[in-house]
Structure 1
């Protein structure tokens, strides 16, 4: 074949053309590997057995690389059986072996086949020095079984050295960031030094910083509804610190991992826990996805707390100056406090009590000021009782020239403000914060001006002006909508009182008064209750519309009226449907004596729908207005 060149190095062009010819020759094998079609690939390999080692793509990938990258496990198993063990460790132009691709793709079957043929593949690093385990933890973390498997079969040998080398800290950090807390606990149990390892290649990140950065690792950072909170408290926590049984089955026989499988499981012998486990086991097959998510979340939260405990045990082995540098200079304390992660702070303070006195350059104490500024109730409870320590913290004048009451007067971060539904309830919570912080401050400092010569009260009014206006608009819009519904209900039930089912006789008495005594009484009573409840609701919402909307009204007056109005409206709708059902039953029961069953089901649907839609807001209002104080003190120690 004649080579046509357009300048440059003729020998180089000739090489390129030869390579192009080779790639064209392997197109059939390449397509078969992409599709996972072993029959086509086997036919090609029967004609050319050496093609099993050939580079069939521009990236110097073999058929094994391609199949592993595409996740074709059966193809990988078949072609591994035809390849020499040494060839399995070849890197392509991207710098990956087939095991790297299997780890990234989360294919346990492919990884097992490759390691069965060549157990040294776990130590082969890619072009950036990453082992398959590290790639599985960072890019294939959705497949927990693959991460477990590679962790068990990987040894700490050169060149990878995944547990003591320069990327060891990154390994434990990505495991924690991926939410693989059980695996992280196992890794730290076997390699305690990793608990305090610092990843100098990634802004000096540490395992504790990664835990503090992600609030969802802990219950304090998870926003659960009322019903979800009740279910969460009930769920048992079953932690087995060993690898899952399905993974252990794959590594039996590996000499390097037999001792790793002998780890104690958590002993849960209490009767109550056993009953919870049995009940949850029975519910789980029919439970909703949200139920299973809550169970996984509780396990993740539990393991995160255990991780913090293990890390703190390792930190306590350092000297005082090293502890200080580790916790303060690496932004761990600051991050945990800003995020309101009470679990981390409580454990840290129990291990190192002196941290409670830490203050930053602006004279802000660690817990108290950040709890107020970022509106973390759980954090504030730890320091809101009037001990000498907390009084000293409360009386400190911050820089620039402001008190903790000025912090309470400022608007919180949007993420904290939006955690409460409705502008009116947000304004109520802000007033509650201001009042409780005001009780901590000495009277001398209540009128203390800041650098703009504003007292805390003046600053509160200024900062919350827009929120108060939004709260007023929200209340008026809600009241107008609910008034319309209450008016319709009152009109209907008032008319129903004078048009009794079955009509009236010549004396004006209802015809069914004596014949259907029980159902008629149900109709009469429910109709009357519906009328009274709807009128009560109407008056409550009318009083909201005509309120003065002063700041103090948002604290109790307006929320109480809204609670009474919504409760009355719910009762009015429910009893109206009862009256309707009773009427329908009276009229049709003579010919259709089963009619009350579908009527009851249908009548309960709108009532249930109304309750489900309004219940979360209603419960939040009741708890915020009438419930126990969210600022009740809790003991740190």
Structure 2
């Protein structure tokens, strides 16, 4: 120990540690330490590499000491050995930017915290790399006693100096105040200490735009929530239009019905609190599809007016439910008795709930609404500000399933014109300028199946005439099918001379059997021969018709192509049956295998039939033959309602789709 170090004897029975340690700290603060060359050069080196204030290891160990006197001993040793003033020692921080006060708080060293904060009060607002003050750290680690100590010490310093900010309003890099941290810690005692020190911070938003009140709901602590709910929103300002400060919005987000009822019990007026989009909790419940929360809010509202208020875009809660396709919320809404007709519930564009559902392709909602007795023909055929009915809007966005359900309802008037003089079918017809999309193709078929005649304005259609490229598509189609038909002729022709089981040879003893089929007496040979012949002649006819179509004009060629395609469909259906019969013949001795072949053949023949009808059903719908027409309708129903899902809006980058 050097001469400059004055050791104060410690009496183990002396309980007055404050007086003793404060006296030693004052002496250390007033003591001057002359620098030597070695120390100076070392500090210069650290300063050059940017580590002048990096905390030395001895200080880490000093903060960890159990007794405060031992901590002061370490400070004395560091000051003497390093030739550093005490203020320079406390200026050092860890790599994370923590001061010794941060470290003492984290470790729960209450006496050391009291000693440091008294002699170096500026450390109370020192921040680490995360922007945390010692108070942030104290509440995060639930040190209630240290929280009280820091608040008391800072209050004393604030009384001495004017203009100091409230330490409870200090925010870290996440924008969290100490109360945010306290709520996240879920420690009621710590929350109450901070709350009693500054009640208005309850409504302070962090960078995530969430207040401590909002976080209390998210964390699900009812005691903390009830404490924070006692603070009213500022009386001199409008209710904050922000999602992150509405406890009901938070309870809906967490889908916690108990908290929703708890909040409504304590503060029923919060049902009117709006978010940044002007939406009430009812709007938010409808938007996220939380039907149970929507029902609770609806039942606890003092009047129906809350559910009939619009947000900034004029959308009612029911509009948002229809837009997002939340059918359970829609059912809850329609089960309620409203003092106003449904067709009068309009947004700023003059659109009712069916408009909104059809516009966004929510086929499940559209189907439910059409079946609901509260939806009348006025709602179904109502026009918006642009003169569009729900069917117009579904056609604009090419939603074939919505169009299918709406045209299938006899109350829908398909001939209504919008402000541009267009019907819904005209809009679909004009949707593709150069190429047709599958969506447009299906929507056109739906209108055709519904028996809607095409009466598009010739002047308007002339501006949307397809380019010459589609004129070549018929020729390309004919060439493709001609190749397929030719291959089918070749296969069936060859099969006729390579019959299953072979033929009797020329050296057979019975002259009448020579060259005859060995299995000609079998029933399945009749099946094979019959279906192979049908496939052969159907393919030949298809080839001939396609060759003729190439020399006709477009109108006649289209009709001939339809007949050729019908012949190909027959060929594609008969070839699999002929193949199954041939295989069945050669394995007839094994009954189990023969049965398996028959089952597999029947199953795949049905699948082929379904696939061919799916491709041919547009023709079937247009023909007057009842059987084919009904088959076409059946396939259309399967495709629209079961297989193809086009409930999303067409992408703008897809050139084959209509840009909305």
Please state which band the TM-score falls in when normalised by the shorter chain: 0.5 to 0.7
- DSSP-derived class of the 2:592 partner: coil
- The answer to whether the 8 Å contact 1:523/1:582 transfers is yes
Match of 2:262 in 1: 153
In 1, the alpha carbon distance for the partners of 2:427 and 2:177 equals 66
Deviations 1:296-343 (A, max 9, x none): xxxx446525525748x24359xxxxx97x737553349928839697
Match of 2:570 in 1: 568
Distance verdict in 2 for CA 1:98–1:411, change over 3 Å? same
1:594 to 592, 595, 613: 592
- DSSP-derived class of the 1:327 partner: coil
Matched, 1:484 2:483: yes
Match of 2:516 in 1: 509
In 1, the alpha carbon distance for the partners of 2:410 and 2:214 equals 49
In 1, the alpha carbon distance for the partners of 2:439 and 2:395 equals 20
Offset of residue 173 of structure 1: 2.0
Distance verdict in 2 for CA 1:547–1:487, change over 3 Å? same
In 1, the alpha carbon distance for the partners of 2:598 and 2:380 equals 61
2:534 to 502, 505, 529: 529
Q: Counterparts of 1:278-357 in structure 2 under 5 Å?
A: 300-301=326-327, 303-304=329-330, 307=333, 310=336, 313-316=338-341, 327=346, 329=348, 331-333=350-352, 336=355, 339=359
Offset of residue 134 of structure 1: 0.8
Matched, 1:196 2:312: no
Using CA pairs below 8 Å that are at least 6 residues apart, which structure has the higher relative contact order?
1
Match of 1:86 in 2: 192
In 2, the alpha carbon distance for the partners of 1:465 and 1:134 equals 51
- The answer to whether the 8 Å contact 1:23/1:56 transfers is no
Match of 1:460 in 2: 461
Match of 1:20 in 2: 98
In 2, the alpha carbon distance for the partners of 1:27 and 1:605 equals 72
Distance verdict in 2 for CA 1:119–1:356, change over 3 Å? same
Higher helix share: 1
Match of 1:583 in 2: 582
In 2, the alpha carbon distance for the partners of 1:596 and 1:188 equals 65
Structure 2 unpaired stretches of 5+:
1-27, 30-50, 54-86, 109-136, 151-169, 196-201, 234-239, 507-513, 624-628, 635-660
In 2, the alpha carbon distance for the partners of 1:123 and 1:620 equals 67
Match of 2:222 in 1: 115
Deviations 1:493-530 (A, max 9, x none): 2211122222212422111224xx12322322232233
Offset of residue 157 of structure 1: 4.8
- DSSP-derived class of the 1:497 partner: helix
- The answer to whether the 8 Å contact 2:432/2:440 transfers is no
- The answer to whether the 8 Å contact 1:133/1:147 transfers is no
- The answer to whether the 8 Å contact 1:134/1:162 transfers is no
- The answer to whether the 8 Å contact 2:538/2:571 transfers is yes
- DSSP-derived class of the 1:436 partner: coil
TM-score by length of 2: 0.51
Offset of residue 470 of structure 1: 5.9
- The answer to whether the 8 Å contact 1:356/1:366 transfers is yes
Offset of residue 474 of structure 1: 4.5
- The answer to whether the 8 Å contact 2:489/2:540 transfers is yes
Matched, 1:130 2:245: yes
Deviations 1:600-630 (A, max 9, x none): 4665676566556555444455346536999
Deviations 1:444-495 (A, max 9, x none): xxxxxxxxxxx933543553334xx565545444444343333323211221
Deviations 1:143-168 (A, max 9, x none): 6xx2444433321655x943133458
Offset of residue 598 of structure 1: 5.1
- The answer to whether the 8 Å contact 1:358/1:366 transfers is yes
Offset of residue 563 of structure 1: 6.1
Q: Counterparts of 1:411-490 in structure 2 under 5 Å?
A: 411-413=429-431, 420=438, 436=453, 438=455, 456-466=457-467, 472-490=471-489
Matched, 1:175 2:309: no
Q: Counterparts of 1:488-499 in structure 2 under 5 Å?
A: 488-499=487-498
- The answer to whether the 8 Å contact 1:490/1:534 transfers is yes
Match of 1:622 in 2: 620
In 2, the alpha carbon distance for the partners of 1:621 and 1:88 equals 76
Distance verdict in 2 for CA 1:508–1:344, change over 3 Å? closer
Match of 2:117 in 1: none
Q: Counterparts of 1:353-432 in structure 2 under 5 Å?
A: 378=406, 382=411, 384=413, 408=426, 411-413=429-431, 420=438
**Structure whose CA Rg is larger:** 2
How many residue pairs get matched?
Answer: 452
Match of 2:14 in 1: none
- The answer to whether the 8 Å contact 2:216/2:225 transfers is no
Deviations 1:417-442 (A, max 9, x none): 9775576x77777889997365xxxx
Deviations 1:181-223 (A, max 9, x none): 4543443243222221122xx33332244356x2x63xxxxxx
